[in-house]
Every structure is written in structure tokens, then in C-alpha cells.
Amino acid sequence: MVSLKLSSFTHLLSSPSTTALSRRSPVNLPRRHFLHPLTTTSSAKTTAAETKDRVDNSKNRVPDRVITPRSQDFNAWYLDIIAHAELADYGPVRGTMVIRPYGYAIWESIQEYLNVKFKETGHSNMYFPQFIPYSFIEKEASHVEGFSPELALVTIGGGKELEEKLVVRPTSETIVNHMFTQWIHSYRDLPLLINQWANVTRWEMRTKPFVRTLEFLWQEGHTAHATPEEAENEAKQMIDIYTRFSFEEAAIPVIPGRKSKVETFAGACKTYTIEAMMGDKKALQAGTSHNLGQNFSRAFETQFTDENGQREYIWQTSWAVSTRFVGGIIMTHGDDAGLMLPPKIAPIQVVIVPIWKKDDEKMAVLNAALSVKEALKSSGVKVKLDDSDQRTPGWKFNFWEMKGVPLRIEIGPRDVSSGNVVISRRDIPGKQGKVFGISMEPSILEAYVKDKLEEIQSSLLERAIAFRDSNIVDVSTYDDLKAAISQGKWARGPWSASDEDELKVKEETGATIRCFPFEQPQGIKRCLMTGDPAEEVAIFAKSY
């Protein structure tokens, strides 16, 4: 078998910008060899043993697959997980990413949930072309300002120079409006509620797998309404769906809120956002929903005839969640052992590792493992049996822990005799997370497993909430804010100062207003910067 020298991803990709201001500086990412976590040196092999002498995990660490400790270098740790858990790899073009099957399966979990919710709320999927005439992008003033530095342009088609350059869509508001203008005639055609699952391209200079890549996958919803109230309700409904998804499925306790004017989407009146605290306490904007008002409809002359026969511009929204969310899941739950996946979005919820020493034990153990697998599978649990001969149980323990599988079931010869299995939780390391003597009897085992999966799901959310809340500091002065940010924390304080003051905070601290959270404290407040009355608190943080 091939022995490969595996090294860490750490130094191979530059750290992302900590402030949006530095986003434009060009960085060339060096090429690297691919890291193949399934290939190990023979020194990694150990012998399986049962119960007391079952497996000594420390002996099974694959030395050349070690993940940089999270506390030591968060970015290196993140890239190590992406490589070793086989979530993604780099494409041949700078800043592009190949999403590998395990990473893509997480995206599919996200898709499955959201797709159902979108349809339940009346949205239909459709597909718009990705090539947009350059002139479209120029129609909405702030849109072109926001996107023109990031565009990829097709200038040659079928061997010929094109008369008009084509933009590879960075987002679809312009082409959507072009089509809406043809489809919408009267108030009877409204609301028009659509969504597309698509790839988009933004020529980013500093990239990081999942978090910011030249091309990424997302869904983009686009809606048209007859009144501003309807559009506002739609924008809020969609940020609510994202919020519920984050809490209930991804176990990420995002803070939903409104963006400041400075941070509002290029072309929107209002942007709602969900902001997530990553393990390094930086904020990740995990989803946005925009009330576009009439900005695009005025630019594209998208009008309808209302009930009184008057021509009016339509009111619009757009909203999106992307593959960036996968990065958010990694950076919220992962630990030094690797990825840790919430059961509801884990491609594999339970892995079964059969353990045998002698050949005469093998058949009985594998048969028992197979029955357990079938029982769990038929009750709807996503289960994998790792029956490979190539690896020791210890190696498999580490590998599936690193892949973040929530539960592990171990079955050895003694378990077969006693009719029991051993179950280990990914979220509780070592002996504390291990329970012996769970009956193999299908109904008992299924109930136990489902119960534990729910427990893990809740536990991950609770842990993330505790982490989030212990790292948000309430501030009432700019000095407080600076202190909190310099400690790497989030600062929450009353804000009614100017855009200039907001940019000053960014320049001096690296932090931006992540949002004015929907949940606001009661009582009279004074702006932390100016001392003037403030209606709302804002959250400041450094962000991805």
C-alpha cells in the first residue's frame, strides 16, 4: 500500500480578511498537494481489543493526519478539518473550490430543509440564465457600485468577440427584474414568489473554502409584491425561516437583526441578516434577506396595474443562503478532534464499528453489526457500517470522530454474546460519552439511538448559546466597545451615531455593526459614541 507524507493545510491558504476594508488586496494562493486522509503510514495500525483493553485511542492517532489544535491556530484548524474530513479541495483556478461528497452531503441536508420550507410558504423553484448583459448591471446605481469590482466577464463566445460583454451572475436581481417586467402586468399577477438553486461568481481576492470563494452555490429567492407592507413581511418571513433553520437544524444560535445603512446590500432598502458567532468569536453573516423596495423596479420599469387601474412600481425582496453555511457549521461545532455535526444535518448520524481479533469471531460480529445497521436504517436513521478490513477499529474511531459523526456503535465478540452494544457520543469525549450494555434488540436500540441523537442536537445548541452569550459584552461607551473588541468579543451597545462614526469604529477596531438585533432591551438608551438618545442597540464584531 502507498505511504504518503501528509502535511497540514495550515500555511497553504492565507487568512481571510478581518475587516472588509482589506478585502481588495490581491493574494495569490499557492498550489498544494492533495491530502488523502484515508491513506496512512503502516505505523498508524494498532490492534483492536475489547472492553477494558478495547481500544486505546491515543495509540490510534494517525500521526500525519493530526489536526492543528483549534486554540493554537483557528484558521489552520479549519483548513485541516476541510482537508482531512474530505469536505472540499481547491480547484485549479485560484479561489475556486471542489465540494467533495461529504461536504456536498451537508449542503444537501441544508437544501432539503430549506426547499421544503420555501415551497410551504408558496415559493416555486425556477432557473434564470447565468449570463447577464453588462448593461443590466449598470442600471441600478448602488448595485453596479457594489458588484462591478467583483465581476467575471465573458467576452468571447463560439470563437468570436462578443458585441456586449456578459456578466457571469454575481446575483440575479437584474435579470430577474428584466423577466418580471415581462411577466407582471396586473395586481392579479402578484405576489410572484420564486427561488432558484444556482452557482454564482464573485471575483474575490482573499478566499477561504466555503466562507468566500470565487464561485459558490446558493439559493436566491426573488419576490414581487403590490404593497411595501407585503414586501416587508416577506423579507422578515424569510429571515425567520433562516433563523429557525439555524437554531433547529444546524444548532447555530444566530442573532437575527437589521443591517446598518453602511452594511446594507447594494440595491436594497433594508437588509436583514443572521449573524453567527464562530469558535474564534468572529462573526459570520450566515444568511440575508433584503427588502429591495422599488429600487430595482424603478431601474427596470417593472410596473403593474393596481386595482384602481393605476400603474405602480412593484415592491421586491431577495434572500439567500449559500455554501458558506457549511463553513459556519464547521466553525461553530468543531473541536480539536475534528468536525462535529448536529445530528439533523449529519450525512451519517451513526457509524457502526465492528471489532474482532480472530477470524472465527469475524462472522458473528459482522452479522450482528449488519442486523443493527438494517434495524436502524429501517427506522430512518442515517447509518453507516464501516466493515473494512483495511483499518483497525482504533483508526476508524478517530476517523469517524474527525468526520463529526454524532454517534458510534461498537460491536465486539463479547457484545454479540451478551446481545448488547457500546455507544459513544461524539460531543462528549472519552469515557463520559461512552455507554456499555445497550440492548441490540431493535426496538430498544432504535429508541435509545433516537433519544441520544435528540440529546446531542439540543446539547450542541445549548453549548453554542452558552459560548455566544459569554462572549457578548454590553457596552455603553466607545472605550468599553474597544476593550471588548480587543478581547476578541462582540460588543452590544446603544447606537444612533452617523455613518462616518460607524466607519471610524471599523477603521480603529476592525469591528463592524453586524446588526441591530430584533430582540432589543427595554428602556431609554444613550448612543455609546455620541451620548445622544438611541432607539436601538447594535452588535459590533470582527467578521469573516
Q: Which chain residues interact with a second copy by CB under 8 A?
A: 1-2, 4, 33-34, 36, 38-39, 89, 91-93, 96-101, 103-105, 107-108, 124-133, 136, 148-159, 165-166, 168, 175, 178-179, 182-183, 185-186, 188-189, 194, 198-199, 201, 203, 205, 214-215, 217, 305, 390
Q: How far apart are CA 50 and CA 463, in angstroms?
A: 32
End-to-end CA distance of the chain: 41
User: Distance of alpha carbon 528 from its chain centroid, rounded?
Assistant: 32
The identity of residue 390, as a single letter, is: Q
Nearer to a second copy, 12 or 49 (CB): 12
237 is written with which cell numbers? 418571513
At closest approach, how far in Å is the CB of 432 from a second copy?
Answer: 34
Nearer to a second copy, 23 or 482 (CB): 23
At closest approach, how far in Å is the CB of 200 from a second copy?
Answer: 10
One DSSP character per residue, 296-355 reads: HHHHHT-EEE-TTS-EEE-EEEEEEEETHHHHHHHHHH-BTTB----GGG-S-SEEEEE-
Nearer to a second copy, 39 or 46 (CB): 39
Q: Is beta strand 215-225 parallel, antiparallel or unpaired with respect to 131-133?
A: unpaired
Helix 478-486 to helix 499-509 angle, to the nearest 10 degrees?
A: 40
Is the Cβ–Cβ distance between 68 and 42 less than 8 Å? no
Nearer to a second copy, 159 or 523 (CB): 159
At closest approach, how far in Å is the CB of 133 from a second copy?
Answer: 6
Q: How far apart are CA 210 and CA 208, in angstroms?
A: 6
Nearer to a second copy, 94 or 434 (CB): 94
Q: How far apart are CA 232 and CA 244, in angstroms?
A: 18
Nearer to a second copy, 93 or 524 (CB): 93
At closest approach, how far in Å is the CB of 450 from a second copy?
Answer: 23
At closest approach, how far in Å is the CB of 88 from a second copy?
Answer: 9
At closest approach, how far in Å is the CB of 375 from a second copy?
Answer: 20
At closest approach, how far in Å is the CB of 371 from a second copy?
Answer: 21
Nearer to a second copy, 170 or 256 (CB): 170
257 is written with which cell numbers? 437583526
The rounded radius of gyration (Å) of the Cα atoms in the chain is 26
User: Distance of alpha carbon 353 from its chain centroid, rounded?
Assistant: 29
